[in-house]
């Protein structure tokens, strides 16, 4: 069988609700790697919060972080990294808008540097993976350069209003997507950034035919990746909008959805 590229979102997809990779799915993925197929992580998380899973699967491929705003190869210096930051002036305007909206907190990230507007123990625990340098205070004053991403944390009921505001005032500059787990937040990245473009970049580097790309996701930040992949697979727990555009729907993240699909697709009989 020709070499395939298998693209894995993390939260709600590869990871179960306890943030673990199940033994069966891990066994299937590692078998496929040893058989010559390529596997990548494609996530909204920063690299530091993806590294443990990258190591657990013994990967040796590029990794897609911040929904495609940062792509690099941890083990190959020859790989040309991508780091797309959006204009700091736009970030400043968004920070100033926050006072008009019912927002709980705002987090800005520059690769693995974290800047949080207001201290929150839960947020600290969620963003401290990988021991980043975390600073607190007014983001307009703290942020040293253009951000890789901004996260806006708000109550679920406020998310539609905030999304509408961002679309109305900043549509030509930014992309914004909703996260489900681990926090109900909106992530903002530079205009034109998405996982679909990132997967294409990696597939070109690995010289893999686009017809041989399989991608798994569950949220709206997976939309372009699922559309781009020849086999775009939504998890059983995915949002309805993603299921509607996926080629197929597999089982949930808590019930080996990835492992089951790949076991059947590759006729592994595991």
Could you read off the pLDDT of 59-68 as tens digits, one per residue?
Answer: 999 999 999 9
Could you read off the pLDDT of 229-254 as tens digits, one per residue?
Answer: 999 999 999 999 999 999 999 999 99
In a domain, 18, yes or no: yes
DSSP 11: B
78 and 205 housed in the same domain: yes
Residues catalogued as catalytic:
9
Collect all residues with Cβ–Cβ distance below 8 Å to 55 and sequence separation of at least 6: none
Domain stop point among 148, 173, 190 = 190
State the total domains in the chain: 2
Collect all residues with Cβ–Cβ distance below 8 Å to 63 and sequence separation of at least 6: 40, 41, 42, 47, 50, 54, 71, 72, 73, 74
Could you read off the pLDDT of 38-63 as tens digits, one per residue?
Answer: 999 999 888 988 999 999 999 999 99
With a cut of 80, say whether residue 192 has pLDDT above it.
yes
CA triplet 57, 233, 17: central angle to 5 degrees? 55
Return the closest-CA partner of residue 109 out of 156, 69, 71.
Answer: 69
For 82, other C-beta atoms within 10 Å of its C-beta total 18
| Mean of pLDDT values over 1-26 | 95
pLDDT at 232: 98
In a domain, 270, yes or no: no
With a cut of 80, say whether residue 84 has pLDDT above it.
yes
148 and 121 housed in the same domain: yes
With a cut of 60, say whether residue 178 has pLDDT above it.
yes
198 and 79 housed in the same domain: yes
Q: For strand 185-190 and strand 174-178, is the pairing parallel, antiparallel, or unpaired? A: antiparallel
64 and 101 housed in the same domain: no
112 and 151 housed in the same domain: yes
Cα separation values, 167 from 24, 160, 184, 191, Å: 41, 11, 18, 11
Cβ contact 242:222 at 8 Å: yes
pLDDT at 112: 78
Q: How far apart are CA 194 and CA 166, in angstroms?
A: 17
In a domain, 217, yes or no: yes
In a domain, 139, yes or no: yes
In a domain, 141, yes or no: yes
Q: What is the CATH number of the domain that holds 41?
A: 3.40.50.1000
Q: What global pTM score does this model have?
A: 0.91
92 and 71 housed in the same domain: no
180 and 197 housed in the same domain: no
118 and 58 housed in the same domain: no
Q: What is the CATH number of the domain that holds 156?
A: 3.30.1240.10
**159 or 226: which carries more pLDDT confidence?**
226
pLDDT at 20: 95
61 and 101 housed in the same domain: no
pLDDT at 215: 98
Domain stop point among 190, 219, 250 = 190
153 and 123 housed in the same domain: yes
**Residue 153 burial by CB count (10 A; 0-12/13-18/19+): exposed, middle or buried?**
buried
pLDDT at 181: 55
Cβ contact 164:178 at 8 Å: no
Whole domain around residue 79: which residue ranges?
5-83+193-265
Domain stop point among 190, 218, 253 = 190
pLDDT at 202: 97
């Amino acid at each position: 069988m020709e070499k395939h590229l298998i693209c894995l979102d993390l939260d709600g997809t590869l990871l179960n609700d306890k943030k673990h990779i199940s033994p069966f799915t891990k066994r299937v993925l590692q078998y496929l790697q040893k058989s010559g197929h390529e596997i990548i992580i494609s996530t909204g998380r920063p690299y530091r919060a993806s590294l443990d899973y990258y190591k657990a699967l013994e990967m040796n491929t590029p990794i897609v972080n911040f929904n495609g705003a940062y792509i690099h190869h941890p083990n190959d210096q020859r790989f040309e990294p991508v780091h797309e930051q959006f204009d700091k002036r736009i970030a400043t305007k968004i920070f100033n808008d926050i006072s008009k909206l019912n927002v709980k907190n705002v987090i800005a990230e520059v690769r693995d540097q974290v800047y949080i507007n207001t201290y929150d123990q839960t947020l600290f625990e969620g963003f401290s993976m990988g021991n980043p340098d975390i600073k607190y205070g007014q983001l307009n004053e703290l942020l040293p350069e253009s951000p890789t991403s901004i996260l806006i944390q708000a109550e679920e009921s406020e998310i539609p209003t905030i999304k509408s505001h961002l679309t109305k005032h900043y549509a030509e500059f930014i992309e914004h997507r909703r996260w489900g787990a681990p926090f109900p937040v909106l992530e903002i990245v530079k205009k034109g950034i998405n996982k679909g473009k990132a997967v294409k970049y990696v597939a070109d580097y690995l010289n893999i035919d686009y017809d041989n790309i399989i991608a798994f996701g569950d949220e709206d930040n997976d939309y372009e990746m699922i559309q781009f992949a020849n086999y775009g697979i939504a998890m059983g727990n995915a949002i309805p909008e993603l299921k509607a555009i996926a080629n197929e729907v597999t089982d949930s993240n808590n019930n080996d959805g990835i492992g089951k699909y790949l076991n059947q697709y590759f006729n592994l009989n595991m």
